Structure 1
């Protein structure tokens, strides 16, 4: 649904200085325009999708972003070595870095973005806010001065009034943004925000703003060329956010659906263009505003993103304009072939961001390897994705994996199309937020267009996430026992393996087989199978599902294959359909992955020793004999330790902060006691690793520093 505005290609070769789904998306337009593409990659991304989709690829460094994707010399050297005429930065990383623009200019290479001055002004929130205010663009009251210390910000906060919002001056994506309700909470919040801003953007400068209650986040897409033309392509509604990170975006905003709203659209569009003109902006950019839901005709400038936005596909779907193509043509010096009066918003488009995360566990980042992938397709559905089977998802970068976008003649039609598309998604091997996205789309306020930036946080406590039940455990046990060999795996049916086949056969009657699976709470689910499992399709058996020490009842079950990666389980006559995959780890550990209608689960198969250890630990916890251990739920880096070894702590007290996928997570004490630390700042930790142990005051903690 995008239009080509000219037939001449603006460049012969372009380097894409990014990774993941945005690199793949830029490469797609380059290919359509007949432009040769160059990918760059770190060691962690050597097998990534964008690497093999490009015409050529260049290694730029190790996994650490600071030594690869954030290295200006590495990007410039790669462009020179490959003969790239231009560099497209995507979003994130160096996309808003004025130094990259200057370095490329010095090397005679075109930066596909605005000039260095616009990047410098708009890339600094303090400077940008003060600058646009001088051009009549309304701004939020606050303290926006460079160089202020925490003590000075605390003193000035009284001028702003509480509640207050802390924002890093550099960067975007909501990182480091913190809402503070009272003066007592401000010192600790400033320290965390400054640390996050320094780590994410290399700049710890902070500003304070009045926190607008129940705000709507409206952004305007602008395009400007080097010939004096600046236009806007309408607005996007980005109010559905979690921790200031957008989750679902749409165009146009339902807030402007009335005649009065249409007039506000014209006004806010004009303000966005004025902000862009004030810095001589060139290329595609986004001007972000806060709009009060109580006073929708009033809006305040927040910031300008001097790059392509994650949510740009919704604008493309309602305007038919390829924004990447426009960026390339403007960068090549071409005048815009578009005029403001020609821009029409056709229908409605909605985008959902798909992340590697576990919503049921506080949206913690997830890692893994894609064992099975089925992405939706069809009329009015677009998927921008970095996913492919076998792709390893690590903790080095942002957890966004893909975006699913749907178009409809009306907003309701677009919502229905997007929900149906998400229901056809299957990603096995790494947990995602797809189930959560569908729950959010079903919310009555979301469906009615009653949106504001706190809606998600208010709804979270009431959400109920699906976990594996009897059908899932029964199917996983049968699959682990070899009831249905994977299509094309070459596995022989049990009957073909001779009289010693591991199918439970014995003289007189089949013997029982027991499969132990990991429960969602860390416990054990034991499935006992009776019957000649394996060698038949469908395979019939009797199953008994025991949860921990609670004994279940026997049920009849059968499993049959449906397609290359699907099975149908009949449990007591009720049918359940699953996509499935069986993976094996380096130490021989096996995991059964199941998924349906956008939901998925990973069910590890437990060995005898691990099963007994878990059962014993459960008994000890019940009796209160074991000291609680604080484990990191995801792999990452320890960025701070808030307590001393041997210190007395209270329940809920922060102990250790771990950073993973560009997010910081605090691990807290589960009870009051004395803490023993197992890690120090800078340590790399694995998922489920013990970082601290808290024992009751009457017990003495072991010296955990030995061997740490």
Structure 2
């Protein structure tokens, strides 16, 4: 389209692919989300300084922040997403439920009001039964979701959410145990034209985060496609949504379709819709902002899968890990598209999302797309970090997923059916393979006055005189570990009786106890967060909190001691 692009970056992303591809890249001057990609003032200041005409929301971070969208609008810069008023109406999940009810679209059975007390939740459970789910109204990407299956789960939730404002950010609804996650890639222009570009299925999930997505959604029951399109159109028209967005639904085996939410932005999985229609969705966002009519999409042709390549370790239940991509081989060939967040030689940090790439594979039909996917995933290899690609290889060969006569997948299938029958303990990455020691480079990225500059210099110019030849990268696979061996192989502390240790490098986002507190076995002690995944740490036994080794906001490494719980005898 002939449009010059300006990238912004956090310190650790200075050499990331998006900065290399942009015409200009400017630093946000920080190394965490709050000071960089969530800092709307800095981003807007850079846009004004550089004379930018528009800001693309991207996905995550500020993409659904109505205050930031409004600031962009007020500054006279085009916001390539829905209006701030629309984000207000749909970005908040409680408001979105009310919108759905107002236009005749059925949300998941629940309460479209903020939770104000435990009694309200218990009253809903009394009428709907277990399980229920408590969700943050501003949650996204699988975050802020607490599944309540028992009184113990409810106790744990309220032990963590004691502040009234925090509690009031949640709402309660029935937890739909067995359902597919289907969605529509929708778009509407300033002329009132509305189209569903394609449907998608995103049912392969873990911890409420998508792993494998595909378009169009396969094996829909009769009438479901029409219901999805009509519901999506009603929602967009009711709030005068102008732009590209995704409407998410749950599809139960009996055919019931429940509205989940609207994502007023581009989704991570949007490439599969592009692949089966030939529609460039970012181009459509720009055209819509220019007041041009939508491109009428053709009927979807072929089938497309997207596999999220993350730095998550299958041998540790897909726990996020840090490290460096010492050597990478990306698949190539017909129907294969790659979208890279980092590349060979780059380091994976824990400050942001764990996704490092997307592998998109398209074929003439679902069967061919699966065959190409098997080849593409077999061709992929990486040394230095663990990824879930071996898991994906098993998924696309599982009869529940690839059966030609049906689709026996639900949003709980991966966790309750697939993972319990698969063992990935032999995929542990040796500690030395995660080394982030620098290897000789020929291209150096430096910063001058906040701007990224690339310099090509003789290899080894900045190496220490005593530097040895680079150590050969270690292979991803190691010898199988003995049954019962610890999943945490490194860290400053391996754990003594009563110790609670960090299972991964993470940030301490909450502490629920103080030194000297009495705790019961299973009581919440702390909550860690790494790459959008929250991990509650529970007391391994009843006793007294003898020591707390960390405080809220600390960054800890795998194996670091968080606390020690002493029994009555030990405390004496």
Q: TM-score range by the shorter chain?
A: 0.7 to 0.9
Query: Corresponding residue for 1:537?
Result: none
Q: Is the 8 Å Cα contact of residues 234 and 265 (structure 1) preserved in structure 2?
A: no
The runs of at least 4 consecutive aligned structure 1 residues that moved more than 6 Å come to 486-489
Rate the CA distance shift 1:641–1:330 in 2: closer, same or farther, 3 A.
Answer: same
The answer on 1:116 being equivalent to 2:84 is yes
Q: Is the 8 Å Cα contact of residues 115 and 168 (structure 2) preserved in structure 1?
A: no
SS in 2 for 1:143: coil
The answer on 1:79 being equivalent to 2:47 is yes
The answer on 1:684 being equivalent to 2:555 is yes
- Alpha-carbon shift at residue 426 of structure 1 (Å): 1.8
Give TM-score, length-normalised by structure 1: 0.69
Query: Corresponding residue for 1:104?
Result: 72
> What stretches of structure 2 of length at least 5 have no aligned partner?
434-438, 443-463, 481-488
Query: Corresponding residue for 1:63?
Result: 31
Map 1:253-268 → 2, pairs under 5 A: 253-256=217-220, 261=222, 263-268=223-228
Counterpart Cα distance in 1 of 2:146 and 2:112: 16
Query: Corresponding residue for 1:239?
Result: 203
Give TM-score, length-normalised by structure 2: 0.84
Task: Choose which of 311, 327, 351 in structure 2 pairs with 1:372.
Answer: 327
Rate the CA distance shift 1:602–1:191 in 2: closer, same or farther, 3 A.
Answer: farther
The answer on 1:46 being equivalent to 2:14 is yes
SS in 2 for 1:436: helix
CA deviation vs aligned residue, 1:13-47 (integer Å, no higher than 9, x gap): xxxxxxxxxxxxxxxxxxxx221111011223223
SS in 2 for 1:227: coil
Counterpart Cα distance in 2 of 1:217 and 1:232: 17
Counterpart Cα distance in 1 of 2:52 and 2:39: 17
Task: Choose which of 133, 141, 148 in structure 2 pairs with 1:165.
Answer: 133
Q: Is the 8 Å Cα contact of residues 290 and 299 (structure 1) preserved in structure 2?
A: yes
Counterpart Cα distance in 2 of 1:679 and 1:174: 26
Query: Corresponding residue for 1:529?
Result: none
Task: Choose which of 354, 372, 375 in structure 2 pairs with 1:420.
Answer: 375
- Alpha-carbon shift at residue 420 of structure 1 (Å): 1.8
Rate the CA distance shift 1:694–1:376 in 2: closer, same or farther, 3 A.
Answer: same
SS in 2 for 1:142: coil
Query: Corresponding residue for 2:447?
Result: none
SS in 2 for 1:665: strand
The answer on 1:281 being equivalent to 2:241 is yes
Map 1:284-683 → 2, pairs under 5 A: 284-293=244-253, 295-296=254-255, 298-338=256-296, 343-448=298-403, 449-458=407-416, 459-467=418-426, 593-595=473-475, 600=477, 627=497, 629-645=499-515, 653-670=523-540, 675-683=546-554
Counterpart Cα distance in 2 of 1:180 and 1:97: 28
Rate the CA distance shift 1:629–1:208 in 2: closer, same or farther, 3 A.
Answer: closer
Task: Please tell me the root mean square deviation across aligned C-alpha atoms, in Å.
Answer: 3.3
Q: Is the 8 Å Cα contact of residues 287 and 304 (structure 1) preserved in structure 2?
A: yes
Counterpart Cα distance in 2 of 1:157 and 1:655: 26
Counterpart Cα distance in 2 of 1:114 and 1:381: 31
Q: Is the 8 Å Cα contact of residues 156 and 524 (structure 2) preserved in structure 1?
A: no
Counterpart Cα distance in 1 of 2:75 and 2:244: 23
- Alpha-carbon shift at residue 193 of structure 1 (Å): 7.0
The answer on 1:249 being equivalent to 2:213 is yes
Rate the CA distance shift 1:400–1:150 in 2: closer, same or farther, 3 A.
Answer: farther
Query: Corresponding residue for 1:36?
Result: 4
Q: RCO greater where, 1 or 2, for CA within 8 Å and sep 6 or more?
A: 2
Q: Is the 8 Å Cα contact of residues 311 and 385 (structure 2) preserved in structure 1?
A: yes
Q: Is the 8 Å Cα contact of residues 631 and 689 (structure 1) preserved in structure 2?
A: yes
Aligned residues: 528
> What stretches of structure 1 of length at least 5 have no aligned partner?
1-32, 478-485, 490-583, 604-612, 702-708
Counterpart Cα distance in 2 of 1:122 and 1:137: 14
Task: Choose which of 198, 203, 206 in structure 1 pairs with 2:170.
Answer: 206
Counterpart Cα distance in 2 of 1:337 and 1:236: 19
Query: Corresponding residue for 1:143?
Result: 111
Counterpart Cα distance in 2 of 1:424 and 1:487: 26
Instruction: Work out which of the two has the higher radius of gyration on C-alpha atoms and give 1 or 2.
Output: 1
Rate the CA distance shift 1:129–1:405 in 2: closer, same or farther, 3 A.
Answer: same
Q: Is the 8 Å Cα contact of residues 355 and 402 (structure 1) preserved in structure 2?
A: yes
Query: Corresponding residue for 1:219?
Result: 183
Q: Which moved more, 1:686-695 or 1:46-55?
A: 686-695
Q: Is the 8 Å Cα contact of residues 194 and 204 (structure 1) preserved in structure 2?
A: no
SS in 2 for 1:120: helix
CA deviation vs aligned residue, 1:406-449 (integer Å, no higher than 9, x gap): 11222122122112211211222222211222222222211122
CA deviation vs aligned residue, 1:532-589 (integer Å, no higher than 9, x gap): xxxxxxxxxxxxxxxxxxxxxxxxxxxxxxxxxxxxxxxxxxxxxxxxxxxx9x999x
Counterpart Cα distance in 2 of 1:468 and 1:209: 38
Counterpart Cα distance in 1 of 2:522 and 2:227: 48
Counterpart Cα distance in 2 of 1:461 and 1:435: 15
Query: Corresponding residue for 1:561?
Result: none
SS in 2 for 1:438: helix
CA deviation vs aligned residue, 1:137-158 (integer Å, no higher than 9, x gap): 1222211114634454444443
Q: Is the 8 Å Cα contact of residues 115 and 172 (structure 2) preserved in structure 1?
A: no
Counterpart Cα distance in 2 of 1:602 and 1:172: 38
- Alpha-carbon shift at residue 629 of structure 1 (Å): 4.2
